[in-house]
A and B are shown apart, each in its own frame.
Chain A
Amino acid sequence: MSETILSVRNVSKHFGGVQALNKVSFDIHPGEVVALAGDNGAGKSTVIKAISGVFRYDEGDIELDGRRIAFSSPQEARENGIETIYQDLALADNLSIGANIFLGREPMTRLFGFLPVIDRKMMAEAARVTMEKLDFHVSRLDAPVSAFSGGQRQAVAIGRAMYWNARLVIMDEPTAALGVPEQRKVISLIQSLKAQGKGIIFISHNLRDIFEVADRIVVFRRGENAGERIPGETTGDEIVRLMVGK
Chain B
Amino acid sequence: MTAPETVVPTGKSGIYMPRRSLLMRIADMRAWLFLVVLIAFFEVWSRSAYGVSFILNTYNLQSISVFATAPLLLALGQTFVIISAGIDLSLGFVMGLASVIAAHVANYAALQLGLPPLAAMLVGMLTGIAMTIIPGLVNGWLIAHLKVPPFIGTLGMYGVARGAAYLFAGGMTISVSNSWYSTIGNGRVLGIPVLVILVAIACLIMHYLLSQTRFGQHTYAMGASQAAARRAGINVKKLTMKIYLLSGIMAGVAGVLYTGRFSAGAAQAGEPLLLDSIAAVVIGGASLFGGSGTILGTVAGALVIAVIQYGLVFINVEPFWQFIAVGTVIIISVLVDQTQRRFTGGRQVE
Report which A residues bind B (CB closer than 8 A): 73-75, 78, 84, 86, 89-95, 99, 103-106, 108, 111, 115-118, 135-140, 143-144, 146-148, 151-152, 181-182, 184-185, 187-188, 191, 212-213, 231-232
Do B228 and A94 have beta carbons less than 8 Å apart?
no
Do A93 and B225 have beta carbons less than 8 Å apart?
yes
> Which residue in A89, A139, A232 is a CB contact (below 8 Å) of B228?
A89
Query: What is the distance, in angstroms, from A181's C-beta to the closest C-beta of chain B?
Result: 5
Q: What are 27 residue pairs bridging A and B, where the CB atoms are less than 8 Å apart in the complex?
A: A73-B233, A86-B231, A89-B227, A89-B231, A92-B225, A92-B228, A92-B232, A92-B291, A94-B224, A95-B217, A99-B221, A104-B234, A115-B208, A118-B213, A118-B217, A136-B14, A137-B14, A137-B15, A137-B16, A138-B15, A140-B18, A140-B19, A147-B344, A152-B16, A181-B8, A185-B7, A191-B4
Contacts of A90 in B (CB 8 A): 228, 231
Query: What is the distance, in angstroms, from A124's C-beta to the closest C-beta of chain B?
Result: 14
Q: How far is the CA of A88 from the CA of B220 in the complex (A)?
A: 18
Do B291 and A188 have beta carbons less than 8 Å apart?
no
Contacts of A143 in B (CB 8 A): 18, 20
Can you add 17 more A-B contacts, CB < 8 Å, to A91-B228, A187-B4? A89-B227, A89-B228, A92-B220, A92-B229, A94-B292, A95-B217, A104-B229, A105-B232, A111-B212, A118-B212, A118-B213, A137-B14, A143-B18, A147-B18, A148-B18, A185-B7, A188-B7
Question: B78-107 toward A: CB 8 Å interface, digit per residue (1/0)?
Answer: 000000000000000000000000000000
Interface residues of B in 192-242 (CB under 8 A from A): 208, 212-214, 217-218, 220-221, 223-225, 227-229, 231-234
Query: What is the distance, in angstroms, from B20's C-beta to the closest C-beta of chain A?
Result: 8
Q: How far is the CA of A143 from the CA of B16 in the complex (A)?
A: 11
Do B223 and A106 have beta carbons less than 8 Å apart?
no
Do A103 and B232 have beta carbons less than 8 Å apart?
yes
Q: How many residues of B contact A (CB 8 A)?
A: 38
Contacts of B225 in A (CB 8 A): 89, 91-93
Contacts of B234 in A (CB 8 A): 103-104
Flag whether B13 is at the interface (Cβ < 8 A): yes
Do B217 and A74 have beta carbons less than 8 Å apart?
no
> Which residue in B7, B213, B233 is a CB contact (below 8 Å) of A74?
B233
Report which B residues bind A (CB closer than 8 A): 1, 3-4, 7-8, 10, 13-20, 208, 212-214, 217-218, 220-221, 223-225, 227-229, 231-234, 291-292, 344-347
Do A191 and B217 have beta carbons less than 8 Å apart?
no
5 closest Cβ pairs, A-B complex: A147-B18, A75-B233, A104-B232, A92-B221, A103-B232
Q: How far is the CA of A22 from the CA of B292 in the complex (A)?
A: 46
Q: How far is the CA of A191 from the CA of B7 in the complex (A)?
A: 12
Query: What is the distance, in angstroms, from B221's C-beta to the closest C-beta of chain A?
Result: 4
Q: How far is the CA of A148 from the CA of B103 in the complex (A)?
A: 54
| In the complex, residue of chain B having the shortest beta-carbon distance to the beta carbon of A54 | B231
Q: How many A-B residue pairs have CB under 8 A?
A: 119
Query: What is the distance, in angstroms, from A48's C-beta to the closest C-beta of chain B?
Result: 13
| In the complex, residue of chain B having the shortest beta-carbon distance to the beta carbon of A146 | B346
> Which residue in B7, B223, B232, B345 is a CB contact (below 8 Å) of A135?
B7
Q: How far is the CA of A95 from the CA of B85 in the complex (A)?
A: 15
> Which residue in B15, B218, B346 is a CB contact (below 8 Å) of A93?
B346
Query: What is the distance, in angstroms, from A207's C-beta to the closest C-beta of chain B?
Result: 14
Query: What is the distance, in angstroms, from A74's C-beta to the closest C-beta of chain B?
Result: 6
> Which residue in A78, A108, A140, A151 is a CB contact (below 8 Å) of B8?
A151
Contacts of A84 in B (CB 8 A): 231
| In the complex, residue of chain B having the shortest beta-carbon distance to the beta carbon of A131 | B16
Do B218 and A104 have beta carbons less than 8 Å apart?
yes
Contacts of B8 in A (CB 8 A): 151, 181-182, 184-185
> Which residue in B1, B15, B217, B231 is a CB contact (below 8 Å) of A231?
B1
**Which residue, B7, B18, B19, has most C-beta atoms of chain A within 10 A?**
B7
Query: What is the distance, in angstroms, from A202's C-beta to the closest C-beta of chain B?
Result: 13
Do A103 and B223 have beta carbons less than 8 Å apart?
no
Do A106 and B16 have beta carbons less than 8 Å apart?
no
Q: How far is the CA of A146 from the CA of B234 in the complex (A)?
A: 21
Q: How far is the CA of A212 from the CA of B292 in the complex (A)?
A: 40
Q: How far is the CA of A191 from the CA of B6 in the complex (A)?
A: 12
Contacts of A231 in B (CB 8 A): 1
Do B13 and A184 have beta carbons less than 8 Å apart?
no
Contacts of A146 in B (CB 8 A): 344-347
Query: What is the distance, in angstroms, from A55's C-beta to the closest C-beta of chain B?
Result: 15
Query: What is the distance, in angstroms, from A137's C-beta to the closest C-beta of chain B?
Result: 5
Given contacts A118-B214, A182-B8, A138 and B16 within 8 Å (CB-CB)? yes
Contacts of A92 in B (CB 8 A): 220-221, 224-225, 228-229, 232, 291
Contacts of A140 in B (CB 8 A): 17-19
Contacts of A78 in B (CB 8 A): 233
